[in-house]
Amino acid sequence: MEAQQFREFGRAAIDLLADYVENIRDREVLPSVEPGYLVNALPEQAPEQPEGWQDILKDFNQSILPGITHWQSPRFHAFYPTGTSFASIVGSILSDGLAVIGFSWMSSPACTELEVVTMNWLGKLLGLPEEFLNCSSGPGGGVIQGSASEATLVGLLVAKEKTVRKLVREDPTLDEDQIKPKLVAYTSDQCNSSVEKAGLLGSMKMRLLKADADGRLRGETLKRAFDEDRAQGLIPCYVIANLGTTGTCAFDPLYELGPICNEADVWLHVDAAYAGAAFICPEYRHLMKGIEHADSVDVNAHKWMNVSFDCSVMWVKNGYDLIRAFDVQRIYLDDVKTDIKIPDYRHWQIPLGRRFRALKLWMVLRIYGAEGLRNHIREQIDLAQYFAKLVRSDERFLVEPEPSMGLVCFRLKDGEIVTRKLLENLTNKKKIFMVAGTYRDRYVIRFVVCYRLTTKEDIDYSWKQIKDEADILCTDKVHMKPQIAAIDTLVGREVCEKSK
Ligand code: PLP
């Protein structure tokens, strides 16, 4: 493909994406395809001869788009948002176009230095303590990881290496292979699956401690777990605190966990994958009280900050901890000597190669400005509150717990079976998409305001789908199978009758 063709192809693709976003409301959020639909539709071999981009775009429209779950639809309320914006898309295109692999400063100086600058900008916007920033006088700094999962694993591997090194330094007769199996990581039973997986990948026992009734890991629970493990000859090594759990967006009290970790010399990592973006707004920073005790903090800019996947921003208080854990030298990597202020980012991550991700972050920070991003966060939280109000206005439903950030959890008072049925029916109809969670062992439906351009009318639309489906369920309930009817409470039935 020549440059001229690339211009035409590129313009057509940008037009396609602009149309896609403009007309996103015309599409059902969930695709109507069966497993294997695409595998069966496409040829078994790659084409022998080059094909024209026009044909390929035609196939994209005909075969790929019908199999897309529209994460950018305002009717997508599942999981947490996928960040994106036109600014970010352009950043990604420019990054792909330059195609640099920025593992060291020399491999592309701008790639490294723009990451340093944008991570300082963003760290300041979030109100992080200065020690985390590269522009402070200390060894702190930020790095863009691919995902929050990677950040948690990086923290775990660094904590492991640091603890082993410290113990061997204190007692040189110790053997590191004897120490490693005794190391323990801790988090709450509300953690994201990726946190538990970090324990598996990093071969460290991960204890999922019981959160309190509000989904928060409390200091006394952590302290007790440390004491129990020490009594058995085990060694506390790594703690992952959650600021905004996936299930209910609960916030662990860092001010309780932090001092316990610091006193025990245990690495404290903060997983603020979704909710961390809200700290751009000063009114939410009380939720990260105690952050100064953390060793590392991670926020997914690719969730709630209009930056496309992948862009998980991680700050550490001491970059040397990462370098000591991950520095492997080769002669072909031996170039200009840099220092902690101009990092060789290959030592700060798992892979060697790395994209120029800072470009999309830079675009977003400049195109939106801090004010634009604050407005975005506040608007989405307001919309979630609006949705909660609608749900509360219908006495068949309960909102529980209190909405947190852009997440509202709710259920039918009639109980788990009808609430499950409600979600199942809505998913089958494909007009809106939500997923389930649990709160105090009760089944709830999670509704997240995800799309960056969601309006009040969109929320009204989604609520109407839910309400209409509940109406059908209430009518059907009269004819429900005996075992379902048996578990309905009298109160629930009365509520259902009254609202008809
Ligand atoms: N942590 C939390 C609290 C999350 O909600 C998620 C994903 O939703 C993750 C971690 C995993 O994020 P990633 O896909 O970037 O690894």
In percent, the amount of the chain with pLDDT more than 90 equals 90
The preferred substitution site among 82, 149, 153, 252 for testing ligand 1, maximizing ligand atoms within 8 Å of CB, is 149
Distance 492 CA to ligand 1 centre (A): 35
* Cα 483 to ligand 1 centroid, rounded to whole Å: 38
Cα–Cα distance between 322 and 317 in angstroms, integer? 10
483 pLDDT higher than 80: no
Q: What is the pLDDT of residue 498?
A: 44
**Residue 232: per-residue pLDDT:** 97
Specify the range with the lowest mean pLDDT, choosing from 11-25, 56-70, 464-478: 464-478
Q: How far is the CA of 432 from the centre of ligand 1 (A)?
A: 22
- At the second CATH level, the architecture of 100-356 is 3-Layer(aba) Sandwich (3.40)
Q: What is the pLDDT, as a whole number, of residue 478? A: 54
pLDDT at 340 over 90: no
Task: State the closest ligand 1 atom to the C-alpha of 150, by its place in the atom list counted from 1.
Answer: 16
% of the chain exceeding 70 in pLDDT: 95
* pLDDT at site 331: 82
What whole-number distance in Å separates Cα of residue 328 and Cα of residue 349?
12
Report whether residue 152 contacts ligand 1, using a CB cutoff of 6 Å.
Answer: no
Q: Which of 156, 194, 302 to mutate to test the pocket of ligand 1 (most atoms within 8 A of CB)?
A: 194
Residue 152 CA to ligand 1 centre (angstroms)? 10
Q: Please write the tens of the pLDDT for every residue from 88-119.
A: 999 999 999 999 999 999 999 999 999 999 99
Q: Which atom of ligand 1 is nearest to the CA of 300?
A: 15
Q: Which of 147-156, 199-208, 213-222, 332-341 has the lowest mean pLDDT?
A: 332-341
Confidence of residue 492 (pLDDT cuts 50, 70, 90): very low
Q: How high is the pLDDT of residue 479? A: 52
Q: How far is the CA of 313 from the centre of ligand 1 (A)?
A: 12
Instruction: Quickly state the pLDDT bin for 474 (edges 50, 70, 90).
Output: confident
Instruction: Determine which residue's CA is closest to atom 12 belonging to ligand 1.
Output: 148
pLDDT band for position 485 (cuts 50, 70, 90): very low
pLDDT digits (tens, 9 = 90+) for 433-455: 999 999 999 999 999 999 999 99
Whether 447 lines ligand 1, by a CB cut-off of 6 Å, is no
pLDDT > 60? residue 35: yes
pLDDT at 475: 79
**Binding site membership of 298 for ligand 1 (Cβ less than 6 Å):** no
Closest ligand 1 atom, residue 149 Cα: 16
The predicted pLDDT at position 82 comes to 95
pTM: 0.93
For ligand 1, say whether the CB of 274 is within 6 Å of any of its atoms: yes
> Ligand 1 pocket check: which of 154, 208, 271, 299 to mutate, most ligand atoms within 8 Å of Cβ?
271
pLDDT digits (tens, 9 = 90+) for 377-413: 999 999 999 999 999 999 999 999 999 999 999 999 9
Q: Which of 1.10.3210.10, 3.90.1150.10, 1.20.1340.10, 1.10.40.60 would CATH assign to domain 3-68? A: 1.20.1340.10
Sequence ranges of the domains in the chain: 3-68, 100-356, 372-499
- Ligand 1 within 6 A of CB of 344: no
| Radius of gyration of the chain, Cα coordinates, nearest whole angstrom | 25
Banded model confidence at residue 495, pLDDT cuts 50, 70, 90: very low
Pocket test for ligand 1, best of 300, 303, 309, 405 (most atoms within 8 A of CB): 300
* 191 CA → ligand 1 middle, Å: 9
Q: Mean pLDDT across the stretch 351-380? A: 97
Average pLDDT over residues 477-499: 47
What CATH superfamily classification does 372-499 receive?
Aspartate Aminotransferase, domain 1 (3.90.1150.10)
**What is the number of the ligand 1 atom nearest to the C-alpha of 275?**
3
Mutual angle of helices 456-477 and 416-429, in 10-degree steps: 120
The pLDDT of residue 288: 98
**pLDDT of amino acid 337:** 76
Amino acid letter for position 305: M
**Per this entry, what is the length of the chain?**
500
The mean predicted confidence, pLDDT, of the chain is 94
**Whether the predicted pLDDT of 488 surpasses 70:** no
Q: How far is the CA of 305 from the centre of ligand 1 (A)?
A: 14
Task: Place 329 in a pLDDT band, splitting at 50, 70 and 90.
Answer: confident
Over residues 457-462, the mean pLDDT reads: 98
Instruction: Answer whether 326's CB lies under 8 Å from 348's CB.
Output: yes
Residue 276 alpha carbon to ligand 1 centre in Å: 11
Question: pLDDT tens for residues 202-213?
Answer: 999 999 999 999
- Report pLDDT for 291: 98
Nearest CA to ligand 1 atom 5: 246
Dist. CA 195 → ligand 1 center (Å):
9
Provide mean pLDDT across the span 322-337.
85
C-beta 149 within 6 A of ligand 1: yes
